[in-house]
Amino acid sequence: MTTIETLGRSSITDDIVIGDHRPARLLDNSQPITFFPAGSEIYAQGEKCGNLYQVEFGAVRVYRLLADGRRQISAFHMPGEIFGLEGFGTHQFFAEAICATGIRILRPSSSDRLELLPLALENLARSQEQLLVLGHQNAIERVAAFLLEMSERQGGMRLVELPMPRSDIADYLGLTIETVSRVFSKLKAKGVIRLPNLRSVELTKLKTLQNLAA
């Protein structure tokens, strides 16, 4: 990736930096935006951490790899959300851009330490929610919960955009892509959802879906 220095401010793209991270000074909106192409790595397990990352556009997956190659996606991050707070010395996860993604890299100063607690608690709450899903839900319940979660995080719209491929959904829900696909088909056959195209879902029977999520 190459870096483009920004000098002026005449367009919205002027503060976009393509390429590697640049140090950010404060937890505010004056930081430049770094562009990550689809599939590119934002940070890797084992790298030292300390920065935070705010999604401006696009989407991010955060995951770990097991020894045998299995992958557990622990979270997706959508525009507006902040991620990267996951340990003390080094990152415990990989973070990748799912599609073309703009990231604002934030370097919290020590005076921002108190701001981090709510963030950590939010991440914790979401992990716990995920534990509930992975612990005791079957395939239909998992997919239903996933669709409802995505809908909520996009403002409760009936038409939900899914920037990630089925394989990501599978690794997030602890299923296989075949099972995810089958559940999509079954929900579609029951009229609970519509699939206008591969990457979007219309929740036509919201209540039914909520019941399925249990």
Partner DNA sequence: CGTTCCCTTGAGTCTCGTCAAGGACCGTGG
Partner DNA sequence: CCACGGTCCTTGACGAGACTCAAGGGAACG
Residue 124 site contact among a second copy, DNA, none (CB < 5 to 8 Å, cut-off depends on kind): a second copy
Residue 25 near a second copy by CB under 8 A:
no
Shortest separation between residue 181's beta carbon and a second copy, angstroms: 18
CA nearest to 51, candidates 95, 7, 97, 14: 95
Query: What is the spatial distance between Cα 8 and Cα 17, in angstroms, rounded to a whole number?
Result: 13
Q: Tokens 């920004």 belong to which residue? A: 6
> How many chain residues are in contact with a second copy, going by CB under 8 A?
35
CB of 91 or CB of 104, closer to a second copy: 91
CB of 69 or CB of 118, closer to DNA: 69
All residues at 6 or more sequence positions from 20 whose CB lies less than 8 Å from its CB, including other chains? 1, 3, 34
Shortest separation between residue 117's beta carbon and a second copy, angstroms: 5
CB of 123 or CB of 176, closer to DNA: 176
CB of 5 or CB of 68, closer to DNA: 68
Pairing type for strands 33-36 and 101-106 reads antiparallel
CA nearest to 143, candidates 113, 108, 89, 187: 187
Per CB under 8 A, which region of 11-19, 70-78, 149-157, 180-188 contacts a second copy?
Answer: 70-78
Residue 189 near a second copy by CB under 8 A:
no
CB of 52 or CB of 175, closer to DNA: 175
CB 206 within 8 A of CB 144: no
Residue 211 token pair: 């019941």
CB 65 within 8 A of CB 96: no
The neighbour count for residue 124, using CB atoms within 10 Å, is 10
Give the residues lining the site for a second copy (CB under 8 A).
64, 66-68, 70, 72, 74, 85-88, 92-93, 113-114, 116-118, 120-121, 123-125, 127-128, 130-132, 134-136, 171, 173-174, 214
